[in-house]
Structure 1
Amino acid sequence: MAEEAGREPVAVLWAFVVREAPQGPPIAEMFVEIEERRYAELLEDALVSGFALATGEPPPTSAAVLVREGRLAELALAGGHRGWATAQPPSLSGEWLAAAADRRLVVVVLLPPGTMARAAEPPAPDHAASGVAADAFMSAVEAARSVGRLFHGTARVVGET
């Protein structure tokens, strides 16, 4: 469960992926899927932060990914005015933390509700995606992108990486 400061808990699913880049160090990606009843709020916060429809390169945003003790502590949106925190912060792999530290940026992708369920099994939060589960997950992500339901942006990394 996750919660925004001062609000009731809300279900959030996270997936963390490291991708090779055409140039430079690997890219840390964070996929976020929130339950239907709060999706509009999350999307509004993301758009205020500068997220855009996922076509081409992700735009820079005012968002920040806060990392504490090797775990995701919060996704800060809307210029830092609204934070989406996780009651039980997911662990981040050493590979993901290294990629985030090298670039000091993370690509954050907002998934529409139900995307991860269509993937059958998203990548585990404590290691990089690989194998059949990763292929199914990325296929579900690409399906959401193809119908114009995916939003993305780059967020700065704050904290220990």
Structure 2
Amino acid sequence: MAEDAGREPVAVLWAFVVREATQGSPFAQAFVEIEERRYGELLDDALSSGFELAGGDPPSTSAAVLVREEQLVELALAGGHRGWTTAEPPLLSADWLAAAASRQLVVVVLLPPGTMAQATGAPMPADPAPGIGADAFMGAVDRARSAGRVFHGIARLMAV
């Protein structure tokens, strides 16, 4: 679940992926899917931060991914004016943290509601980590991207 300052908790699914790069060290990706009733707000915040429709290289944004030790603490959007926090911070793998730290950035990918359920067959708020195979997950992401429903951007990594 996620909480935005002063608001009720919202169901959020996260998936963390390390991708090999054609040059240099691997990079960290954070896939974010939020429930339908708050998706518009998250998307507005992301667009205000400089996110664009996924296709080609992700743009640099004013967003930041805040991490404390091995946990994601917050996705800061809209130039840092809006934070999307997680009531139960997800744990991050050592490989993901190393990839994020080596570049000091994270590619954040916003998925439309229902994307991860397509890969697992489970409704929100299922935990995507153990139940999603890589092929099923990327297939669902590719279908959403082809439909013009995936947004992405490069966020700064910040230790807090």
| TM bucket, shorter chain | over 0.9
Cα deviation digits, residues 12-41 of structure 1 (max 9, x gap)? 000000000000000100000000000000
Cα distance, 1:84 vs structure 2:
0.3
For 1:110 and 1:61, how far apart are their aligned partners in 2?
13
**Which residue does the alignment assign to 2:124?**
none
Contact 1:19 1:29 in 2 (8 A): yes
**Which residue does the alignment assign to 2:129?**
124
Cα distance, 1:123 vs structure 2:
5.4
Aligned pairs, number:
154
1:82 paired to 2:82: yes
Contact 1:75 1:85 in 2 (8 A): yes
Gaps of 5+ in 1: 126-131
**Which residue does the alignment assign to 2:100?**
100
Cα distance, 1:124 vs structure 2:
1.7
Q: What is the 5 A alignment of 1:8-157? A: 8-120=8-120, 124=129, 133-157=133-157
For 1:39 and 1:57, how far apart are their aligned partners in 2?
23
For 1:67 and 1:45, how far apart are their aligned partners in 2?
20
What secondary structure does 1:119 align onto?
helix
Cα deviation digits, residues 88-147 of structure 1 (max 9, x gap)? 00000000000000000100000000000001177528xxxxxx7011000000000001
What secondary structure does 1:8 align onto?
coil
What secondary structure does 1:10 align onto?
coil
For 1:41 and 1:17, how far apart are their aligned partners in 2?
24
Q: CA RMSD in A?
A: 1.4
For 1:98 and 1:57, how far apart are their aligned partners in 2?
21
Contact 2:18 2:28 in 1 (8 A): yes
Aligned sequence identity (%) = 75
Contact 1:123 1:134 in 2 (8 A): no
Structure 2 length-normalised TM: 0.93
Cα deviation digits, residues 55-74 of structure 1 (max 9, x gap)? 11000000000000210000
Contact 1:16 1:123 in 2 (8 A): no
For 1:95 and 1:21, how far apart are their aligned partners in 2?
14
